[in-house]
């Protein structure tokens, strides 16, 4: 079944190679104007300038007039915590009133709050909540996504979260990667005995995750007051032994050493990076580990932003992701993320698009399937209303410019899955 998209005002993300971009290359977002694109079933089979379109080459089942809108690769969001039981807007209001993170935690807030709620919610209810969130994100242009556990913090609740992610993988048109984040925080029961919780992760949780084949990656919250670099290394090495590649939370609140731990373990990514010193920037720049920036979190927490310009100038690999979670980034909308990246992190629009598409796909190890408009790749893209330029997209940050969503060659509506 062939489908033609014609009168495309701007066809973008036409990368030839499936490798992450760094340095000056990050600012190159190949595109053509006045274009067409052909899909066959789930894949892209051809594209070019309208003047080169030979309409009788295929027998098209469907022809879509894009009416001068842009056709762009779907977002690849490589860092989310979108399986959670309840929202935390009470903490949001406490923060507005000036309460500190420690004061909110003392009132029963934070990750442990989400853990209690999640432990009390059954798998079906969690699945339905997460499915609804994915429906919304797909309509905002996301086509591939990473989802972490980490609000369970007991063997049963962590497995429950990962089984929900597995069901989402099987029942949505989105490409999903699962990450085991048992080391998200120390549960209250282990407050005075953190080593025992690490033992539980190593001796029970990781073997159980492996046995059921529930995750591709392992993550650790490497931060002062959470998991030390030595503990992070120990947990990630145990994951690596059963095929779980690390992607770790590093350098959010402090220069923790997490970046260097990630680089030394050949982690696929180190994520956050709001607190970077020269040594951490140097280590990341000389590696193939991707630095994933999460501007929603620094915006929502009123914190300093990651030094995106310094990282790009040093030649580090950069991706952008949403960090969608109920505490510090209650939005998975990648259109907002790229606007934040341009406005606050001073990334160029082309850099932001590349970081949220091809580099995000590389951070998900899905670069052969998605992340760019390329013959042979999945037909995963969105179509916008007519826009005067690529820069207009993050500039008009409050507008919903998306008019059509296509995943795996099919147009997707809110009620499609």
Residues that bind Zn ion (CB under 5 A): 323
The SS3 call for residue 363 is helix
Q: What is the secondary structure of 209-266 as a DSSP string? A: HHHHT--SEEEEEESTTSB-HHHHHHHHHHHHHTT-EEEEEESSSS--SHHHHHHHTT
Our CB check for Zn ion shows the closer of 91 and 323 to be 323
Residue 150 C-beta: closest distance to Zn ion, Å: 8
Our CB check for Zn ion shows the closer of 126 and 273 to be 273
Residue 83 C-beta: closest distance to Zn ion, Å: 13
Our CB check for Zn ion shows the closer of 163 and 249 to be 249
Residue 67 CA to residue 324 CA, distance in Å, equals: 33
Residue 296 C-beta: closest distance to Zn ion, Å: 10
Question: What is the DSSP-derived secondary structure letter of residue 203?
Answer: I
Task: Look at the block and give the residue holding tokens 């999460």.
Answer: 294
Residue nearest to Zn ion (CB): 323
Residue 319 C-beta: closest distance to Zn ion, Å: 13
Residue 181 C-beta: closest distance to Zn ion, Å: 8
β-strand pairing of 381-384 with 70-73: antiparallel
Our CB check for Zn ion shows the closer of 183 and 402 to be 183
- Are 215 and 244 a contacting pair, CB within 8 Å? yes
Q: How does 316-351 read in b/e, with b if 16+ C-beta sit within 10 Å?
A: bbbbbbbbbbbbbbbbbbbbbbbbbbbbebebbbbb
Our CB check for Zn ion shows the closer of 323 and 367 to be 323
How far does Cα 334 stand from its chain's mean position? 9
Our CB check for Zn ion shows the closer of 271 and 351 to be 271
Residue 311 CA to residue 281 CA, distance in Å, equals: 6
Residue 77 C-beta: closest distance to Zn ion, Å: 12
């Amino acid at each position: 079944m062939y489908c033609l998209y014609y009168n495309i005002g701007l066809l973008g993300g036409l990368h030839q190679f499936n490798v992450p971009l760094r340095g000056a290359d990050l600012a190159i977002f190949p595109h053509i104007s006045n274009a067409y694109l052909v899909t066959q079933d789930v894949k892209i089979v051809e594209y070019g300038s309208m003047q080169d379109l030979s309409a009788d080459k295929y027998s098209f089942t469907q022809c879509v007039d894009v009416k001068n809108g842009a056709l762009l690769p779907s977002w690849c969001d490589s860092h989310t915590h979108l399986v959670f039981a309840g929202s935390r807007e009470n903490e949001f209001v406490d923060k507005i009133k000036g309460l500190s993170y420690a004061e909110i935690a003392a009132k029963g807030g934070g990750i442990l709050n989400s853990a209690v709620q999640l432990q009390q919610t059954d798998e079906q209810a969690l699945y339905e909540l997460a499915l609804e969130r994915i429906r919304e994100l797909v309509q905002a242009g996301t086509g591939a996504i990473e989802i972490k556990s980490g609000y369970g913090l007991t063997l049963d609740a962590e497995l429950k979260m990962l089984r929900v992610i597995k069901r989402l993988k099987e029942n949505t048109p989105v490409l999903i990667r699962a990450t085991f984040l048992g080391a998200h925080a120390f549960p209250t029961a282990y407050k005075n005995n953190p080593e025992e919780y690490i033992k539980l992760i190593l001796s029970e949780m990781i073997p159980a995750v492996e046995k059921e084949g529930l995750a591709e990656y392992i993550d650790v919250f490497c931060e002062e007051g959470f998991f030390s670099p030595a503990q992070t290394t120990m947990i990630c090495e145990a994951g690596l032994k059963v095929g779980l590649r690390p992607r770790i939370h590093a350098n959010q609140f402090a220069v923790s050493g997490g970046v260097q731990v990630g680089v030394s373990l050949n982690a696929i990514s180190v994520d956050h990076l709001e607190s970077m010193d020269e040594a951490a920037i140097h280590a990341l720049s000389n590696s193939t580990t991707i630095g994933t920036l999460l501007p929603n979190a620094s915006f929502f927490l009123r914190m300093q932003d990651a030094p995106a310009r310094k990282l790009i100038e040093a030649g580090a690999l950069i991706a952008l992701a949403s960090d969608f979670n109920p505490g510090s980034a209650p939005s998975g909308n990648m259109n907002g993320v790229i606007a934040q990246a341009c406005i606050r992190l001073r990334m160029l629009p082309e850099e932001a698009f590349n970081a949220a598409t091809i580099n995000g796909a590389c951070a998900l190890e899905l670069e052969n399937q998605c992340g760019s408009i390329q013959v042979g790749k999945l037909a995963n893209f969105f179509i916008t209303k007519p826009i005067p330029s690529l820069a207009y997209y993050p500039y008009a940050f409050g507008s919903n410019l998306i008019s059509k969503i296509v995943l795996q060659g099919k147009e997707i509506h809110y009620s499609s899955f």
